[in-house]
Chain A
Amino acid sequence: MYKSVLVATDGSETAGQAVRVAIELAKLCGAKLHVANVYRTGEGAIMRAPGLTMGLPEGIDAGSVAATRAESVVAHARTLGVKAKAHVAGGDPVEQIVAIAAEQKADLIIVGNKGMRGLKRVLGSVPNGVAHKAPCAVLIVNTT
C-alpha cells in the first residue's frame, strides 16, 4: 500500500487527530511516517497560530517550538513501532507541505479539515490547497 506517509500538523488538537490517524495508517501499511510541523512566518503569523507559542516566553523562536513538537510526535510514533522522521518548515503551509512531500517522495499526505465555519463545512485553506497541489494522494481527515 502506501510506503511513505506525510502528515502535516500545526500543533493544534485537531491536527493531533490527523496525526493519530497517520500513525495508525502508517503502522498498518508498514510505511515510513514523515511528520511535518509547518509554522507560518511573517506579519500576523502568531495571530493565525495562537497555539504554537502559548505559554512560552515572548519572542521565542517559532522554529524551535515547531521542531520540539515534531520531535515529540516522532518519538511517540517510534514507541508504537512506526519509523518516523520530523520535518520543520516556516512559511506558507501549503507550499511547504507539498515541497516536503516531493522531497521525501511521499505517496500519501494526511491533513486535517480545519476551517469549518458554521453549519456548512468549508475546507480550511490549508487542506484545500494541499488537495489541489499535492503530487500524490491526499487524505483529508475529519478532525473538526
Chain B
Amino acid sequence: MLEAMTDQLPQIRHQPTGSGSLCRTILRALPTWFGIEQDRPEQDRPEQDRLEQDRPEQDRPAAQSAPLQSVRRRPGRLDMYKSLLVATDGSETAAEAVRVATELAVVLGARLHIANVYSSSNPAPVYAGEMTMAYLESLERGKFATAETEALAERARAMGLSAQPHVVAGNVAERIVEIAEEQHVELIVVGNKGMRGLKRVLGSVPNAVAHSAKCAVLIVNTT
C-alpha cells in the first residue's frame, strides 16, 4: 500500500517556504495519492502555456531569453524576485539603499546579496617583498569594507533574511553587474547618488548599472 502511494507521488517541486505553501502542496497532491482524477483549475496550468495562448501571434518573442524565465515558477503566479543584490560604498546614501533593499527582501522573501566594491587603483606589488604605502592602504580599505559589509549582512540575518556579503575591488559598476550575474541575482538595488543642484542627475554608477545589468534594477532615491 505504501509502495503504491509513493509510486504515485507527484513531482513536488521545491516551493519557497511561506505560510501555507507546504500545506497547499500536500493538499494538492492528496487527490493523486488517492487516485482521484481532478481537473486542474485554471491557475494550476503552467504559466508558460497560458501566456502563449493568450498572446496574439505577432507579439510572441522569437526567443525566450528573459532571465525571469529561468526562475522556477509557481503555476499561475509570477514569481517575484527571489534574489536581490544591493551595492554599497559605505556612504550614508548607500546605507539608505541597503535599508530599502533589506526591507524589500523581507517583503519578497528573497535572498539578499550585499556588495561593497571599493575602487583600488593601486596594483598589487610586483615582488612579494615590496609593500608600498598605497598597496597597504588598499589592503586596509579592503579590510574595513569587509568588516562593514559583514555587519550589514548580520543585521539582515537578524531580520530573518539569508544574506551574503561580497567585497571586491575594481570598477564599481562593472563588478556589481558581474557579481549579479555570478549569483543569478534578479534585482539589483542601487542609490541615485550624483545629484547636482536642482536637476537630478544619475551618478555614473547607477546609470552604468542600469544600462549594463542583465536583470531588473531598482534605483532608490537616496539623495
Contact = CB atoms under 8 A, between A and B. Distances in A.
Note whether A and B form a binding pair: yes
Interface stretch (A23-31, A40-48, A58-66, A88-96): A23-31
Interface of B is mostly: mixed
Given A13-B59, A133-B200, A142 B66 contact: yes
Interface of A is mostly: mixed
Contact of B108 (A28, A138, A143): A28
Interface string A4-40: 0000000011000100110011001100000000000
Contacts of B211: 121-123, 128
A118 B216 CA distance: 18
Interface in B192-223: 200-202, 206-207, 210-221
B156 to A, nearest CB: 15
B210 A123 contact: yes
Interface residues of B, number: 32
A139 B217 CA distance: 6
Contacts of A143: 66
B215 A138 contact: no
Given A121-B214, A122-B211, A142-B67, A1 B219 contact: no
B93 to A, nearest CB: 13
A137 B218 contact: yes
Contacts of A123: 210-211
Interface residues of A, number: 30
Interface of A: 1, 12-13, 17, 20-21, 24-25, 28-29, 51, 121-123, 127-128, 131-144
Q: Which 10 A-B pairs have the closest CB atoms?
A: A13-B59, A139-B218, A138-B219, A140-B217, A142-B216, A141-B216, A20-B78, A137-B220, A137-B221, A1-B107
26 contacts: A13-B55, A13-B61, A21-B80, A24-B77, A24-B80, A25-B80, A28-B80, A51-B59, A123-B210, A123-B211, A127-B210, A131-B206, A131-B219, A132-B201, A133-B200, A134-B221, A135-B200, A137-B219, A137-B220, A139-B216, A140-B217, A140-B218, A140-B219, A141-B216, A142-B67, A142-B68
